[in-house]
A and B are shown apart, each in its own frame.
Chain A
Amino acid sequence: EAGVAQSPRYKIIEKRQSVAFWCNPISGHATLYWYQQILGQGPKLLIQFQNNGVVDDSQLPKDRFSAERLKGVDSTLKIQPAKLEDSAVYLCASSLDYSYEQYFGPGTRLTVT
């Protein structure tokens, strides 16, 4: 069974630029999560989708971050414009349903200069 796929794996941008990350969850998984992991900290949930609907986006900085999950499968997370403090690893995870184990992708490491 293929795991959670993310791309790109690494991205370097300048502040005020925009960037997008892509996530392909495990086939059949209804719930998809995006986490932000800043160096030295644990992952923090940014947004949770159930199929193509948003369940929780309370910690998503909505002035600059946006996410979508069209058709309830793939998802993209966008940052526009990026700030230095957005430098982090962005992890995508999926689960069969909201009460099941979360499986994590390898992450995208973003560096904002």
Chain B
Amino acid sequence: AQSVTQLGSHVSVSEGALVLLRCNYSSSVPPYLFWYVQYPNQGLQLLLKYTTGATLVKGINGFEAEFKKSETSFHLTKPSAHMSDAAEYFCAVSDAGGGNKLTFGTGTQLKVEL
């Protein structure tokens, strides 16, 4: 069975500061890993994904994440936070070739302060 742990249900940063959202996964097979963002009253939007190949993945809106197999982690970062980044972020895992079934973490609410 797969699972995802997101450390910190709420993260607060200052505008212009580094954003770091943590995600650890558990999977018995090589995983596909995803980060989604959810703005209020909207559906989830894919930020980035890791399937195979390069372990540093770049996504939209300046976000990137690095797959570290030894640490079973897939942390999301952005060098400089913007007010528009305030949202809820979900990490998810699926089996490679597992029919695209996503298992989500519990989410991290990002607050960006002036």
Contact = CB atoms under 8 A, between A and B. Distances in A.
Nearest to B107: A42
Interface string A59-91: 000000000000000000000000000000001
A42 B4 contact: yes
A42 B100 contact: no
Contact of A43 (B46, B90, B99, B100): B90
Contacts of B42: 106-107
Q: Most chain-A CB neighbours within 10 Å: which of B42, B43, B101, B104?
A: B43
B44 interface: yes
Per DSSP, chain B at the interface is loop
Given A4-B43, A106-B42, A40 B99 contact: no
Contacts of A56: 99, 101
Contacts of A4: 43
Interface string B71-114: 00000000000000000001010000101111111110000000
A95 B100 CA distance: 9
B41 A48 contact: no
Interface residues of A, number: 25
A25 interface: no
Which residue among A3, A102, A103 has the maximum number of chain B CB atoms within 10 Å of its CB? A102
Interface residues of B, number: 22
A97 B45 CA distance: 18
Contacts of B100: 31, 48, 95, 98-100, 102
Contacts of A48: 99-101
B89 to A, nearest CB: 10
B14 to A, nearest CB: 26
A91 B44 CA distance: 9
Interface in B48-80: 49
